[in-house]
Amino acid sequence: MKIFKKWKLSNKLAFTYGFVFLITFATINFVIFRTIFVFGEKEANAQMSEVKEMVKNEINNMVELNKGEMENRKRTYQIAENILKKGFDTYIRIYNDDKIIVNSLDKNIPKFDYKKDIEKSKLEKIGDKVYSVYNLKLDFKGKEMYIQFIMDITRQYGFIKLLRKNMIIGELIGLLISILVGKYLSKSLLKPIKEITKNAKYITINDLSKRVYLSNKHDEIYELGKVLNEMISRLEESFKNQNKFISDASHELRTPLSVMQGYLEIIDGWGKNEKEVLDESIIALKEEVTNMKNLVEKLLFLAKGESGNIKLNKEKVMLNKLVEKVIRDTEIMVPDYKIINNINDEIEVEIDSNLIQQCMRGIIDNSIKYSQVDKKIEINSINKEGIAKISIKDNGIGMEKEELDKVFDRFYRIDESRTKDTGGTGLGLSIVKTIMDLHNGDIKIDSQMGNGTEITMIFKLDVNRDGGD
């Protein structure tokens, strides 16, 4: 078994094909051989039984008629002749007082012990001849009489022997052919796998652009290659995003660190002796530390979201009440903005209310940054056909259509030149998307340049729960 384990898969398959063929063919041959043998044996036994019954009946008739010895001897000879005339290949010898009184056998057929194996068939091989011998013991006028039936089965035995030999040769030839065919088929079947293995060796963490070989046959191996290519594509995209994330995070952290370094150099140089400069530097340093803290917290949140380490504290809440609370908080924080709430359906949802509030505030904060002229924000909650929606619409500057798919990417800003004016890190909407993904929800955005932006949060409700339209 240890040697078998070290074999190549193609050799294992070829050997398995051969072994299965050998077992199958040997079983079929055994059944055929056994059927022929049993049939021949049954035919021979039937013939022997018929001859035996004929002889027994004639012997019994002689006893009943109580004829003279000469007449009986003639009768027994007549029995032997009748057997041969009927076409039976059975010869008989009748023994009385250890003498042969009837012998219908060819002189070349040897003698066999007639007192052994009474009423049992046995095979006797003499030279190249094979005989079936059956001994019978009868009581004739108070004396023992032995009748020996002998059948020459050399031809039948030779046929069976030849059949067995040919079957064995056929099995060996079939085994060889099945191994060769199995070897060919296994190589043909494993060729795509070898190509996949060959291509996979060139795919490294430094080069994920290559893909594995896909055969023209749409079979299981094709599906395997397709799945591997899809996995490699996801890995490539993941590594690209990771590298971009590290690059963007480094860039975002470099700015506050540079500012902090500048103020520290001022303090270390001449600013520590001037109270006004020192106070200004300390205030600026505190602001940059706060900015860095917020940035790091957002980065950690996104990292936890990707790794699935954010634990949701879900509870059943009325979504319309949550919307009302966020509206009140917004009106307090930005009193110069007009918050409009046209529709606020009663909706019960199972969510993490703190995260959903964070999600809504992130969208509102984004609306405030980009709608400095028309300070109006419309917030609605709608329950329709088993789906709850919270839409937040502003009348801000809007964005181009090609930018809609990018706004949820980390560190993405529509216009880098406006970053200093609007602030932010470009992570707000990424966090919104992560929160919605954690709730198995969806988020859609609709915007046009100069006509504002509408962002819709979508929750799937329990279809069995009653709700308004």
Sorting pLDDT into bands at 50, 70 and 90, what band is 70? very low
The domain limits of the chain are 2-170, 239-307, 315-460
Q: How far apart are CA 48 and CA 351, in angstroms?
A: 93
In angstroms, rounded to a whole number, what is the distance separating the alpha carbons of residues 346 and 23? 73
Q: Which two tokens stand for residue 452?
A: 């504002």
Fold of 239-307: Helix Hairpins (1.10.287)
In this predicted structure, the answer to whether residue 463 has a pLDDT above a threshold of 80 is no
Angle at which helix 275-307 crosses helix 428-438, to 10 degrees, equals 30
User: What pLDDT score was predicted for residue 462?
Assistant: 67
The confidence band for 408, taking pLDDT boundaries of 50, 70 and 90, is confident
The confidence band for 5, taking pLDDT boundaries of 50, 70 and 90, is low
Q: What percent of the chain has pLDDT over 90?
A: 8
One-letter amino acid of 27: T
CA dihedral over 67, 71, 76, 82, signed as positive or negative: negative
Out of 82-86, 243-247, 259-263, 319-323, pick the least confident. 82-86
- 189-223 pLDDT, tens digit per residue, is 777 777 777 777 777 766 777 777 677 777 777 78
Quickly count: other Cβ atoms within 10 Å of residue 356's Cβ: 23
Give the dihedral sign, CA 262/264/268/274: positive
Predicted local distance difference test score (pLDDT) of residue 443: 92
CA distance linking residue 70 with residue 317, whole number of Å:
124
pTM exceeds 0.75: no
What are the residues facing 455 on neighbouring strands? 392, 445
Comparison of pLDDT for 306 and 294, the residue scoring more: 294
**Helical packing angle, 353-369 and 319-333, nearest 10°:** 40
pLDDT of residue 420 exceeding 50, the answer is no
CATH class for the region spanning 315-460: alpha beta
Q: What is the mean pLDDT of the chain?
A: 78
- 2-170 maps to CATH 3.40.50: no
**Residues 431-441: pLDDT tens digits?**
889 899 989 99
At 21, the amino acid letter reads F
Q: What is the pLDDT of residue 92?
A: 74
Using the structure block, give the residue that is written with the tokens 């966090």: 431
- Contact between 150 and 90 under an 8 Å Cβ cutoff? The reply is yes
Please determine, for residue 454, whether its predicted confidence score (pLDDT) is greater than 60.
Answer: yes
Task: Give the phi and the psi of residue 47 in degrees, each rounded to 5.
Answer: -65, -45
Look at residue 84 in the predicted model and tell me its pLDDT: 52
Residue 349 bridge partners (DSSP)? 317
